[in-house]
Amino acid sequence: MQKLVWFNGEVTPLESATVPAADHAHLYGDGLFEGIRIYGGKVFKLDEHLDRLYFGCKFLGYKMEMDLPTLRAKILEVCGMAQIEDGYIRLNVTRGTGLGLDPKAVTTPPNVMIMISTLALYSQDKYETGLNVITTSYRVAPPSTLDQRLKCIGRYAYHILAKEEANRAGAGEGLMLNHEGYVSECTGDNIFIFKDGVLKTPHPSQGLLMGITRNTVIELAREAGIEVREEIMTRYDILSADEAFLTGTAAEVIPMISLDERQIGDGKPGTKTKHIISLFRAETKKGTPFAAVTA
């Protein structure tokens, strides 16, 4: 297995990969990204990630020269070059290269990066024992500034500060509210609770990223006959829940056992959460295969 970076057609080892100093994401956070998992030599939910990416490009006005099918094929090719069985793809698209805030200063096509690496967001034991979470003081950006459903690089400054606050408190994650005080998401994950057998998660209108893993869990739960509701929620709902867990491409599905030093349910990963985890792990055996590329 190799850790590789494909950048605008050039492949280099991750350790020596570079980007232009005047890349618009490097200068202003003007870029989009997707994190995509590789399981068992297959890319998980590739098409869903690419659909979200290309909508973001359209929304931000990027003049993409590479169409979706071409980028899709290139991702699979680079995965084959890395010969990776289980890993993590970081896909970046930025407006391009040019100094100056005005998009008119960018005269190049969008910069495209495909990074093949590995990522473990939490230690393995946390999937068995669960995460302790705090409510952070940082709020998600309101849609009047930048809609949270847009996976924009620049918006993650809020989330980094919130994660830093959680780290200082010794917590595994930080819960972020919106400006009205309703539950939105965690710094890098969506949140779910079980209450009286019903699976609940914050409504998309509450300023959260529409996570690919979030949507997968909703689909799997409904297929399994579990009632799922997207609702407006407060901290009360989280603290009064029977069980809770977090989802994300990097996080996968991980139990949450407390909020602000108050245990949720019996303070242990619940049986319903474990069932969702087993459903998700079975689903990861599906995906888009790629063939190893030999020199």
Could you tell me the CA-to-CA distances from 45 to 150, 184, 254 in Å, in that order?
A: 18, 23, 19
Same-domain status, 183 and 231: yes
Last residue of a domain, one of 100, 119, 138: 119
What CATH number does the domain containing 154 carry? 3.20.10.10
In a domain, 215, yes or no: yes
Model confidence band, residue 2 (pLDDT cutoffs 50, 70, 90): confident
Model confidence band, residue 161 (pLDDT cutoffs 50, 70, 90): very high
Question: What pLDDT does 143 receive?
Answer: 82
In a domain, 290, yes or no: no
Which residues touch 149 (CB under 8 Å, ≥6 apart)?
A: 204, 208, 209, 210
Same-domain status, 258 and 142: yes
Q: List the domain range (segments joined by +) for residue 72.
A: 4-119
Could you read off the pLDDT of 84-107 as tens digits, one per residue?
999 999 999 999 999 999 999 999
End-to-end Cα distance, the chain? 13
In a domain, 294, yes or no: no
Could you read off the pLDDT of 219-252 as tens digits, one per residue?
999 999 999 999 999 999 999 999 999 999 999 9
User: Would you name the residues annotated as active-site residues?
Assistant: 151
Same-domain status, 90 and 133: no
Last residue of a domain, one of 99, 119, 139: 119
Same-domain status, 115 and 153: no
Query: How many domains does the chain fold into?
Result: 2
Same-domain status, 166 and 99: no
In a domain, 69, yes or no: yes
In a domain, 292, yes or no: no
